[in-house]
Amino acid sequence: MKLYDSAMAPNPRRVRIFLAEKGISVPVEQVDIGKADNRKPPFLAKNPLGGLPVLELDDGRPLCESVAICRYFEELQPKPPLMGVDAADKAFVEMWQRRMELEVFQRATATFQNTHDFFKGRIPQVPEYGEVQRKTALARLAWLDGELSGREFIAGSRYTIADITALCGIDFGRVSGIRIDPAWKNLQRWHEAVSARPSAKA
Ligand SMILES: N[C@@H](CCC(=O)N[C@@H](CS)C(=O)NCC(=O)O)C(=O)O
């Protein structure tokens, strides 16, 4: 199999961290988003939507969507569990993963896409929409700070894919002015802890 990756982009980072936590290594090929190589025919044959990452399976099928790729590796190698261990735990991890994706990660990427020069001329931008996303992302971080007052990680006492999605969303948000307020002590404590894991460098 082969992972089509982009070292600078937040979605591929989610998969790289997930793999590092599992201790799995796979062949990787970088795709240059800056040169829009992901929007050209050879790559579009793998993912017509142009998004990274893509995992090409041994039989040649391109598996797209970061969480689907993580799910594949979770099934191949369940330990350490990053997507829950029993019916209720799996459901709660899914709940928090979805919340982190929709409320933090996607708001950070929507802010970037709608306000940053990188996307000027590449996609239609609506800066006002980006500003709304920035403000909402910050409100969600304040909410998350409160949630983390009673537990170590996003979905409970164990590190999961929800932590990975939140970390990648928050770190990517920095370039768009989405930062952890020093008053948010719980979120700060959590961010320091998950950033200190070796996988965060993946
Ligand atoms: N929903 C997809 C999103 C994939 C995506 O949009 N990836 C970004 C990188 S974070 C990308 O390829 N951006 C470049 C572009 O859209 O041209 C996933 O979860 O993997």
3 CB within 6 A, ligand 1: no
Q: Kindly give the number of the ligand 1 atom that is closest to the alpha carbon of 15.
A: 20
The helix (run of H) or strand (run of E) holding residue 63 is: strand 62-64
What is the spatial distance between Cα 202 and Cα 198, in angstroms, rounded to a whole number? 8
Name the 3-class secondary structure at 111. helix
In which band, very low, low, confident or very high, does the pLDDT at 122 lie, cut at 50, 70 and 90?
A: confident
- In this predicted structure, the answer to whether residue 129 has a pLDDT above a threshold of 90 is yes
Side chain identity, residue 30 = Q
Best CA proximity match to 173, nearest among 124, 95, 115: 115
Cβ neighbours for 83, distance < 8 A, ≥ 6 positions apart = 70, 71, 74, 90, 93, 94, 97, 160, 161
Q: What is the pLDDT of residue 192?
A: 98
In which band, very low, low, confident or very high, does the pLDDT at 132 lie, cut at 50, 70 and 90?
A: very high
Distance, CA of 15 to chain centre: 8
The helix (run of H) or strand (run of E) holding residue 167 is: helix 161-173
Q: Kindly give the number of the ligand 1 atom that is closest to the alpha carbon of 109.
A: 10
9 CB within 6 A, ligand 1: yes
Q: What is the pLDDT of residue 201?
A: 97
Best CA proximity match to 164, nearest among 37, 26, 66: 66
Best CA proximity match to 165, nearest among 108, 101, 71: 101
Side chain identity, residue 43 = F
Q: Where are the alpha helices (DSSP H) in 100-148?
A: 106-115, 127-147
Tens digit of each residue's pLDDT (9 = 90 or more) over 62-96: 999 999 999 999 999 999 999 999 999 999 999 99
CA angle (141, 143, 148) in 5-degree steps: 90
Contact 83, 70 (CB under 8 A): yes
- Which of 6, 11, 55, 105 is the best mutation target for the ligand 1 pocket, counting ligand atoms within 8 Å of the beta carbon and taking the most? 11
Q: What is the pLDDT of residue 35?
A: 93
Tens digit of each residue's pLDDT (9 = 90 or more) over 13-69: 999 999 999 999 999 999 999 999 999 999 999 999 999 999 999 999 999 999 999
168 CB within 6 A, ligand 1: no
Q: How far is the CA of 13 from the centre of ligand 1 (A)?
A: 11
65 CB within 6 A, ligand 1: yes
Greatest alpha-carbon pair distance for the chain in Å reads 50
Distance, CA of 175 to chain centre: 15
Residue matched to tokens 């370039």 = 175
Share the mean pLDDT of the chain: 97
